[in-house]
Structure 1
Amino acid sequence: MSRELARRIAFTIGALLLFRLGTQIPIAGIVVHPAFAADRIAPLSIFSLSLIPYLTAAILVQLVAVVWRRVRALERSGEAGRRKLARITLILALLLAAFQAFGIASAMRQLPRLVVNPGDWFVVSATASLVGGVLVLIWLSEQITRRGIGNGLALILSVSIVASLPSEVETFLTQLRRGAISSNVLVGNAILLILIVALIVFVERARRNVPVQFAARFVGDRSLLSRSTVLPIRINSAGYLLPVTVAPWAISLPVAFAGSIFGADDGSWVEAISAHLQFGEKTHIVLGSIAVFALAFVYTAFVIDPDHAAESLARQGGVIPGVTPGEATASYLDRVVSLTTVIGASYLTALSLIPEVFLAYGNALVYKMGGGAALIVVCTILDLQTQVREVSLTNPGGVRR
């Protein structure tokens, strides 16, 4: 192990330990009973909101970029444009955090024997603590990305998921000892989780390699020889967070809007529709699957622009064998991306269905660790593996060995 790699790993471990320490620091002004377990303190800690407001803000900015060409151009305009978008995302995240924190603090002071002095000052101080916790986590995730190893945001999310697993496993083992579930169910769940992880590893590493031939050319005083390479296209170019996060919004927001106009009293048609669209209901499963599948296509079209890729290849003297440069290349890439996205969108839809289907049939273990949670953890580990290899093969000056 190189000295640089050891330093980065040590920094990352220290930052993650700091994060875990913060999850055990309760909000000032609440009564933490001695009987509280460590995992029960976390929802009442200064890091209670985790990075959810920041993720929500980032997703909203990405959505705006999909539909607003000016924001999309800003994202592709270089480092200055990306810094401006980062500032916008941070401001939006803090606004969302303040809104959520105020609601949580207001609800906490209504709970009996939880808050010492449930007055307005507690709401102000608790809101400030929660928003400050989000700001600290954003800063900490950026420091991990810059000075440590791996993506800081993904690592913090993964550690949160993994840290909750021991208590979940303990709960299921207790149910097994009491006879509430059979050992066959537990073994079946374990096998299913292994298959889910294997599927994620296979798909996330899979690429559709498009052959590209670069002709010999001069760049300044340098002569570049002709060479053959590939243009790798990921099977899952849409990621996970945006399609699966936005899909519930697409289902719930129209119902909420209808309820605000027509009312959602008991027996009303809005209330009946809302009942059928609850998580785990068949209607929600069908509409949610359609929404995830469609959003995967929409976001992939934003991430991969065939026209831009064709222009970039033409500028660099690259051609796809057997395909005419220009519009024909763009059409060819569009067909390849579309066919690849069918597989990726089906894969994302299946992952999003796993928790909901198994929760609907009373299988909570797969609900806890299926789909998104497994994808986040596995992709974080794969990214760590890649970065460790890169740092190991790179000298301190940034030159590959």
Structure 2
Amino acid sequence: MSRELARRIALTIGALLLFRLGTQIPIPGLDASRLASLPSFNDRLSLFSLGLIPYLTAAIFVRLLSVVWRGLSSLERSGEDGRRKVARATLGLTLALAAFQAYGIASTLISFPELVRTPDGWFVVTATASMVGGVFLLVWLSEQITHYGIGNGLALILSVGMLVSLPRDVAGIANVVRSGAVSGNLVIIHAVLWVVTIAVIVLVEGARRNVRVEFGAREVGARQLPARDAILPIKLNSAGFLIPVTVAPWIFFLPLALAGFVLGGDHPLVNAAYRHFQLGQPVHMILVSIAVFLLAFVYTAHVVDPEHTAKSLAQRGGRIPGVAPGEATADYLDRVVSLTTVVGAVYLTALQLIPEVFDLYGIGLPYSMVVDGGAALIVVCTILDLQTQVREVSLTNPGGVRR
């Protein structure tokens, strides 16, 4: 192991240990003895109780805005200065969302008897400030890991938060099996399902549709670059998971919330709609699956821009064999990306359906968290990214030159 790799791994481990330490520090003002009697709430009532959710929500909102607002999309691609402006806007929105959520939690806590030592306005202020500070500390830690450690900081913190619950999950499942409440065969079916799911995730995330590109000979300054062939890789899943699966329920629940505000929460139509949109209901499964499938195409079109790629190829003297440069190349890439995205969209839809199927058929197990295809996807992709970065650092000299 090289010294640089050891340094990066040590920094990453230290940052993750600091994250886990923060999840054990309760919000200031809570009664420690009362909190000790509620072990399942320790992480939820800690400095990091909000986690990275406000930041991820803000980032998703800004990313969606860039899909529909070309000016923001151009700003993101304009260089380092443009990306800094977008990052500042994301942090500003994070502050607003975190403050709103933290204030709501702090205001609710004072209504629990004996949980808060002094349930007054000062507790609400300090608790809100502590939780908002925890969000920004996590964002800072994730940036340190990304820049100076190994792996993607956001993904690592999310993955660690999911993985630490596994021992508790396994112990809980073992207890219900011993008590006879759950069949051992059902546990075996779950284990096989997750092994197959992880294998599919590894296969799909590593799969690429390679488009061959030819670059003609050209001069760059005083250098003469020879003609060469290259590969333009297109991922099967270019849309990721968070944006399609997070945004899909918004499409239905936001109009439903508006209807509840206009008609009243106790209106029969609103109540019936809410019942049908519960997790595991057939209507919810069908509509959300359609939304995830379509959003995978919409977001892929933003991430993989055929027109931008065709223009970049033309500027560098590249062309796809048998395809004319310019608009014809853009059309060809658009067809390839669309056909490839069909596989990725089906894959994402199947992953998000896993907990719904469990709930619909009553075959779930008592996980302490919502274990679903998205959680598995995040953890597996984080591990694959770690593997790639460890290999890259191991093969790179301190000066940035590959061995």
Q: Which residue of 2 aligns with 1:157?
A: 158
Q: Which residue of 2 aligns with 1:84?
A: 85
Give the SS at the match of 1:230. strand
Residue 370 of structure 1 and its aligned partner are, at CA, apart by: 2.3
Q: Is 1:184 paired with 2:185?
A: yes
Residue 229 of structure 1 and its aligned partner are, at CA, apart by: 1.1
Q: Give the partner amino acid of 1:160.
A: G
Q: Is 1:2 paired with 2:2?
A: yes
Q: Which residue of 2 aligns with 1:382?
A: 384
Q: Is 1:130 paired with 2:131?
A: yes
Q: Which residue of 2 aligns with 1:27?
A: 27
Q: Give the partner amino acid of 2:375.
A: A
Instruction: Report % sequence identity.
Output: 65
Larger mean Cα displacement after TM superposition, 105-114 or 46-55: 105-114
Long gaps (5+) in structure 2: none
Q: Is 1:342 paired with 2:342?
A: yes
State the alpha-carbon separation in 2 of the partners of residues 156 and 328 from structure 1. 43
Deviating above 6 A after TM superposition, structure 1's stretches of 4 or more consecutive aligned residues are none
Residue 369 of structure 1 and its aligned partner are, at CA, apart by: 2.5
Q: Which residue of 2 aligns with 1:75?
A: 76
Q: Is 1:314 paired with 2:314?
A: yes
State the alpha-carbon separation in 2 of the partners of residues 128 and 327 from structure 1. 53
Residue 182 of structure 1 and its aligned partner are, at CA, apart by: 1.3
State the alpha-carbon separation in 1 of the partners of residues 356 and 108 from structure 2. 28
Give the SS at the match of 1:272. helix
State the alpha-carbon separation in 2 of the partners of residues 332 and 245 from structure 1. 30
Q: Is 1:15 paired with 2:15?
A: yes
Give the SS at the match of 1:363. coil
Q: Which residue of 2 aligns with 1:254?
A: 255
State the alpha-carbon separation in 1 of the partners of residues 17 and 78 from structure 2. 37
State the alpha-carbon separation in 2 of the partners of residues 395 and 332 from structure 1. 40
Residue 264 of structure 1 and its aligned partner are, at CA, apart by: 2.1
388, 393, 396: which is aligned to 1:394? 396
State the alpha-carbon separation in 1 of the partners of residues 323 and 344 from structure 2. 25
Residue 36 of structure 1 and its aligned partner are, at CA, apart by: 4.1
Q: Give the partner amino acid of 1:375.
A: L
Q: Is the 8 A contact 1:8 1:149 kept in 2?
A: yes
Q: Is the 8 A contact 1:32 1:41 kept in 2?
A: no
Residue 169 of structure 1 and its aligned partner are, at CA, apart by: 1.3
Give the SS at the match of 2:212. strand
Q: Give the partner amino acid of 2:69.
A: W
Q: Is 1:353 paired with 2:331?
A: no
Residue 38 of structure 1 and its aligned partner are, at CA, apart by: 5.6
Q: Which residue of 1 aligns with 2:283?
A: 283
Q: Is the 8 A contact 1:193 1:370 kept in 2?
A: no
State the alpha-carbon separation in 2 of the partners of residues 39 and 111 from structure 1. 16
Aligned pair in 2 of structure 1 residues 134, 110: CA closer, same or farther (>3 Å)?
same
Q: Give the partner amino acid of 2:153.
A: G
Q: Is 1:108 paired with 2:106?
A: no
Q: Is the 8 A contact 1:212 1:318 kept in 2?
A: yes
Q: Is the 8 A contact 1:24 1:38 kept in 2?
A: no
State the number of aligned residues: 400
Q: Which residue of 1 aligns with 2:236?
A: 235
Residue 172 of structure 1 and its aligned partner are, at CA, apart by: 0.7
User: TM-score normalized by structure 1?
Assistant: 0.98
Larger mean Cα displacement after TM superposition, 328-337 or 112-121: 112-121
Residue 166 of structure 1 and its aligned partner are, at CA, apart by: 1.3
Q: Which residue of 1 aligns with 2:305?
A: 305
- Deviation readout 1:196-241 (Å, 9 max, x if unpaired): 1001000000000001011111111011111111100000000000
Aligned pair in 2 of structure 1 residues 274, 38: CA closer, same or farther (>3 Å)?
closer
Q: Is the 8 A contact 1:196 1:370 kept in 2?
A: no
Residue 362 of structure 1 and its aligned partner are, at CA, apart by: 2.4
Give the SS at the match of 2:112. coil
User: TM-score normalized by structure 2?
Assistant: 0.97
